[in-house]
Structure 1
């Protein structure tokens, strides 16, 4: 029976790399895989899904108002993989759940929370209805588990601003809650030099 999966982690936990490896593994066994990403993620181009370690592939763009259930009726795949799923709407997550119930497995990869430790709409809905939740762990600069997506500017933690601000290693780092809460940025400044 197909399921809706959510594999989440802090910045730098290799979510996109894992999504691309899962796609490769399915395709190697002859499955037709739909790789999708939200249109808000335009960092590497509108249809490019790229990991920090250089793995990349072409994805299908999910516009904000796209009904994924209706889209799937005309674009059949054996499995769907969604990168940056936190940027989807709650309604789109519900549509992915319906696809998983009726048709094929849907694997979502993304962040759980933003730089202020608040859940994204898509992540929140995934936590509410996904059949499987898996944390992809990464490490803070202090050695503890990274769980906060700290937004960084000039070596300092930023605590205010819009929820969505696209960036990679130059703008975000995964930190443990203690380092984030207590502005422990010394090791961040050293890494950026």
Structure 2
């Protein structure tokens, strides 16, 4: 059960993510979080003293929320075959586009900020490792000759698909599950020679 302090920090981080979507990086301030969350002025500063601490809290909460896109029972194990892996990845991408578009926009804001702040880059990359490591393990188990490179290529396809449908040329037109599944399967067939 979360403590009052952890619940308050979660509210602050969730509000920070919402403000990033609504106002962009320039609109994210301690005062704006307090006001948007309905907290007494100074509350955000008590939990995240600096801007760097506020951004760190937002990155960590973003990773937690993005990890919820697939339930543990839906996550394929490393032994999963390419079709099972493709089905799970397509489902995750579809849910991200259909249900978590706002989180994607917040992630893009944080990713760009991380290019300018080395301390945030480190936290952003660490948070992303929870998604990369299992994918490398699955590619290894699926028989990839170069699992790290193939996992990175697969992530590139996923990230590109998310971006084009959330903020790019196909903004507002999320791809359907079958279209996504076909794309992932084609990519995996090319990588695995299956």
Is TM-score (shorter-chain normalized) higher than 0.5? Answer: no
- Which structure's residues are more often helix, by fraction? 2
Higher relative contact order (CA 8 A, sep 6+): 1
TM-score per shorter chain, which class? 0.3 to 0.5
Query: Which structure has the larger Rg over C-alpha atoms?
Result: 2
- Which structure's residues are more often strand, by fraction? 1
TM-score (normalised: structure 2): 0.34
